[in-house]
């Protein structure tokens, strides 16, 4: 029987399970004043040290001196299909119901990393993140999250008077649209090598290399065999004009992509951009045409103009999102 | 006190409020075997006969001999913002909370017409609709709804193990992407007249006229001043080759647009297309490249291939959606 008062917070085990690291923490409280979760007992293990998720969780519990919580949410870098999770890089496989039974959790949720980002969005710390575009967020409306990394991820926190839910999706794979004449020329070049020019074929780590190749062709320059890190290095040090133009175009064009996703997700609650790439090009993003291209949507330009866009650089997003997933459901 | 057994269905007032007609009905039961709502006491009034929504509702209640229900859901052809609804064409304005109090409803929801379509999607009658594309719907996954009419509407029924909600959006206003060389040539022509070539600038009634103009330019033919109805008539009677090519391109290209929306909405639960235009060109749609273009998404072609697409021609979608909105919430 639960004899706690309703004001007492039942701790939540949260985890961020990736191919490299398995990170665990306990959410021990929620501060309604600051709208922040209290994250404690944060431990990181190399994922490859464990043969299964279960053994990693057991290792975590053995290292903290805290009663095992009855609620848990795991953010995993991979798809969850009908309660089954395969983390192919690690060879880990688990079933959500079996895991729940094994650890006697009263509540267990498993969500993917961009779903966690969407759940986390209302609980971020403004002081740790960067406003890319000013606006007026509707606090009851949908929030879009997105970002280029290994691929292009996106999700939406849907909030209506009838209920809320997180939409997980494959938005990175839609056909990339051209807005400017340069966009069009670049897509024409990309099509020479790629069957389908999707958003992700440009807006991702490997995509930067594709975009560089196309930019070189448009400029009539011979492309070198460079990866994203090399392109970024040569652009930043001023050693390669094509690399510089590539990253500028990347920052400009992603504004149009983000504006389209804001429209498709009805994201009057705001857009949050993250992932591995954009936090490393903050100044370039700020001096780019991102804001102009985000808003440039014909008769809907007023709609997109009012939406704030935030670059998320704070750590612990998967922990916050996992906590929010449980917290929102418990307080529904 | 409610002395009804839990198996007894509390009736729901449903309405479909448009600029031309205000339609009302009572949902008197839900048949779990057929997954269908029982719709009775259907009455249609000319909207312009009334000075307010309240007077139309009173007229409905005065004409039916049935106790006033305690639950109601209204589908309106317009935006709902912070509980305020303005139906500008009719000069009607109402506040959801005030309306709820005035009619002593225990529960009142007001949703827009595409949100109603999304709520209705799991409760449609297969025998009344047409499979455009075969597939295997995941019954627990998101469902996308969309369709060209006066504009291009879209919405998503988000279904996850953590909850469900309907996403309303402005997806018709995203930038239209070119997939084929003909698409690209048409967009180039459209750009000569339009600042922003959105999905809706082609996929709507007025859009068909835009597309016809661009098609004539691409074919080097002088365009006549034709509206969508005239283009359709001339195409169907074989009197205008450009009109025929326009409608074929419309059916082909909307396959690519629908495929992108399916990816952005993660719609493994299926795609339902409706609206005023496509039901009138069923045979052309079936013989078009819609299915091929829907699935043609590079490395995600397997994902889109499995998604079934249904053309919704059955009547009463707003009633079914309004009923489902209340029913789902009551049974959550």
The correct CATH number of A12-112+314-330 out of 3.10.110.10, 3.30.565.10, 3.30.420.40, 3.30.530.20 is: 3.30.420.40
In chain A, which residue's Cα lies nearest the Cα of B163?
A: A165
User: How does residue A189 score in pLDDT terms, banded at 50, 70 and 90?
Assistant: very high
Per-residue model confidence as pLDDT tens digits over A32-48: 999 999 999 999 999 99
Per-residue model confidence as pLDDT tens digits over B245-294: 999 999 999 999 999 999 999 999 999 999 889 999 999 999 999 999 99
In chain B, which residue's Cα lies nearest the Cα of A327?
A: B162
Place of tokens 């917070």: A9
Which of B162, B184, B264 has its CB closest to that of A329? B162
Task: Determine whether the interchain pair B173/A297 forms a contact, defined as Cβ–Cβ distance below 8 Å.
Answer: yes
Select the more confidently predicted residue: B88 or B96. B96
Task: Determine whether the interchain pair A173/B83 forms a contact, defined as Cβ–Cβ distance below 8 Å.
Answer: no
* Minimal CA separation from B169 to chain A, in Å: 4
**B142 contacts in A (CB within 8 Å)?**
167, 169
Select the more confidently predicted residue: B88 or A20. A20
Task: Determine whether the interchain pair A163/B164 forms a contact, defined as Cβ–Cβ distance below 8 Å.
Answer: yes
* β-strand pairing of B143-148 with A152-160: unpaired
Which of B142, B174, B265 has its CB closest to that of A263? B174
- For an interface test with B, the pick among A165, A191, A256 (most B C-beta atoms closer than 10 Å) comes out as A165
Residue closest to B259 by CA, chosen among A103, A173, A53, A74: A173
Long-range contacts made by residues A43-47, C-beta under 8 angstroms, separation at least 24? A45/A21, A46/A20, A46/A21, A46/A22, A47/A17, A47/A18, A47/A19, A47/A20, A47/A21, A47/A22, A47/A90, A47/A92
Mean pLDDT of chain B: 94
- For an interface test with B, the pick among A96, A99, A178 (most B C-beta atoms closer than 10 Å) comes out as A178
- Give me the mean pLDDT over the B235-239 stretch: 95
**B169 contacts in A (CB within 8 Å)?**
142, 263-266
* Minimal CA separation from B164 to chain A, in Å: 5
**What tokens does A32 get?**
């309604």
- What is the per-residue pLDDT for B1? 40
The CA distance from A228 to A251, in Å, is 14
The CA distance from B169 to B158, in Å, is 13
Which of B163, B167, B296 has its CB closest to that of A329? B163
Is pLDDT at A254 greater than 50 in this prediction? yes
- What is the per-residue pLDDT for A332? 56
Per-residue model confidence as pLDDT tens digits over B17-57: 988 999 999 999 999 999 999 999 999 999 999 999 999 99
* Minimal CA separation from B277 to chain A, in Å: 21
Tell me the three-class secondary structure of A229-264, residue by residue: HHHHHHHHCCCCHHHHHHHHHHHHHHHHHHHHHHHH
Question: Which residues are within 8 A (CB) of A49 and not within 5 positions of it... i.e. 6 or more apart?
Answer: A56
DSSP secondary structure string for all residues of B259-321: HHHHHHTT-TT-EEE-SSSGGGGHHHHHTSSHHHHHH--GGGHHHHHT--EEE---S-HHHHH
**A325 contacts in B (CB within 8 Å)?**
162
DSSP secondary structure letter of residue B106: S
Is pLDDT at B229 greater than 60 in this prediction? yes
User: How does residue A161 score in pLDDT terms, banded at 50, 70 and 90?
Assistant: confident
Which of A156, A174, A297 has its CB closest to that of B196? A297
Cα angle for residues A262, A267, A268 (degrees, 5° grid): 120
Complex confidence, ipTM: 0.95
Cα angle for residues A51, A54, A60 (degrees, 5° grid): 100
- For an interface test with A, the pick among B264, B269, B304, B322 (most A C-beta atoms closer than 10 Å) comes out as B264
Termini Cα distance of chain A: 21
Cα angle for residues A284, A290, A291 (degrees, 5° grid): 125
Edge-first strand order for the sheet with B21-31 is B36-46, B21-31, B12-17, B71-76, B107-112
Select the more confidently predicted residue: B83 or A265. A265
In chain B, which residue's Cα lies nearest the Cα of A197?
A: B298
DSSP secondary structure letter of residue B61: H
Task: Determine whether the interchain pair B174/A177 forms a contact, defined as Cβ–Cβ distance below 8 Å.
Answer: yes
CATH 3.30.420.40 corresponds to the domain B12-120+314-330 = yes
Is pLDDT at A253 greater than 70 in this prediction? yes
Using a pLDDT cut of 90, give the percent of chain B over it: 89
User: How does residue A3 score in pLDDT terms, banded at 50, 70 and 90?
Assistant: very low
Task: Determine whether the interchain pair B165/A160 forms a contact, defined as Cβ–Cβ distance below 8 Å.
Answer: yes
Q: Report the run of H or E that residue B145 belongs to, with start and end.
A: strand B143-148
* Minimal CA separation from A238 to chain B, in Å: 33
In chain B, which residue's Cα lies nearest the Cα of A119?
A: B162
DSSP secondary structure string for all residues of B153-188: EEEEEEEETTEEEEEE--GGGSBPPP-SHHHHHHHH
What is chain A's alpha carbon radius of gyration, rounded to the nearest angstrom?
Answer: 21
Is pLDDT at A4 greater than 50 in this prediction? no
Task: Determine whether the interchain pair B167/A156 forms a contact, defined as Cβ–Cβ distance below 8 Å.
Answer: yes
Taking one residue from A and the other from B, the number of pairs with CB-CB distance under 8 angstroms is: 158
The CA distance from A220 to B236, in Å, is 48
What backbone phi and psi angles, to 5 degrees, belong to B278?
-65, -35
Q: Where are the alpha helices (DSSP H) in A44-107?
A: 53-63, 96-102
Per-residue model confidence as pLDDT tens digits over A81-127: 888 999 888 889 999 999 999 999 999 999 999 999 999 999 999 99
Residue A219 in contact with residue A242, Cβ under 8 Å?
yes
- For an interface test with A, the pick among B138, B154, B158, B183 (most A C-beta atoms closer than 10 Å) comes out as B158
CATH code for the part of the protein at A171-311: 3.40.367.20
Task: Determine whether the interchain pair A166/B154 forms a contact, defined as Cβ–Cβ distance below 8 Å.
Answer: no
Mean pLDDT of chain A: 94
**A186 contacts in B (CB within 8 Å)?**
none
Q: Where are the domains of chain A?
A: 12-112+314-330, 171-311
Residue A329 in contact with residue A21, Cβ under 8 Å?
no
In chain A, which residue's Cα lies nearest the Cα of B296?
A: A196
- What is the per-residue pLDDT for B77? 87
User: How does residue A2 score in pLDDT terms, banded at 50, 70 and 90?
Assistant: very low
Place of tokens 């929801």: B109
Which of A138, A142, A173 has its CB closest to that of B167? A142
Task: Determine whether the interchain pair B265/A167 forms a contact, defined as Cβ–Cβ distance below 8 Å.
Answer: yes
- Give me the mean pLDDT over the A227-241 stretch: 96
């Amino acid at each position: 029987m639960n004899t706690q008062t309703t004001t007492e917070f039942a701790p939540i085990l949260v985890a961020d399970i990736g191919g490299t690291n398995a990170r665990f923490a306990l959410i021990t409280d929620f501060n309604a004043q600051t709208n922040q979760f209290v994250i404690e007992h944060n431990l990181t293990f190399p994922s490859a040290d464990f043969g299964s998720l279960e053994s990693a969780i057991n290792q975590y519990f053995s290292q903290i001196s805290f009663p095992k919580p009855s609620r848990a949410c795991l953010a995993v870098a991979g798809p969850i299909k009908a309660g089954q999770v395969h983390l192919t890089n690690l060879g880990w496989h688990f079933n959500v119901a079996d895991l729940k039974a094994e650890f006697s959790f009263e509540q267990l949720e498993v969500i993917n990393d961009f779903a966690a980002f969407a759940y986390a969005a209302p609980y971020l710390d403004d002081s740790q993140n960067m406003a890319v575009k000013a606006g007026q967020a509707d606090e009851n409306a949908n929030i879009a999250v997105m970002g280029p990394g290994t691929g292009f991820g996106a999700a939406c926190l849907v909030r209506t008077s009838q209920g809320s839910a997180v939409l997980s999706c494959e938005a990175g794979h839609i056909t990339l649209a051209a807005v400017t004449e340069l966009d069009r020329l670049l897509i024409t070049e990309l099509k020479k090598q790629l069957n389908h020019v999707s958003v992700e074929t440009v807006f991702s780590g490997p995509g930067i290399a594709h975009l560089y190749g196309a930019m070189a062709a448009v400029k009539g320059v011979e492309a070198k065999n460079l990866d994203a890190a090399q392109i970024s290095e040569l652009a930043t040090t001023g050693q390669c004009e094509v690399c510089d133009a590539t990253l500028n175009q990347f920052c400009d064009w992603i504004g149009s992509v983000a504006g389209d996703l804001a429209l498709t997700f009805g994201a009057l609650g705001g857009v949050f951009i993250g992932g591995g790439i954009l936090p490393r090009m903050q100044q370039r993003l700020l001096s780019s045409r991102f804001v102009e291209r985000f808003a440039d949507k014909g008769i809907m330009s007023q709609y997109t103009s009012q939406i704030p866009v935030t670059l998320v650089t704070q750590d612990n997003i998967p922990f916050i999102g996992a906590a929010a997933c449980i917290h929102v459901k418990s307080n529904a």
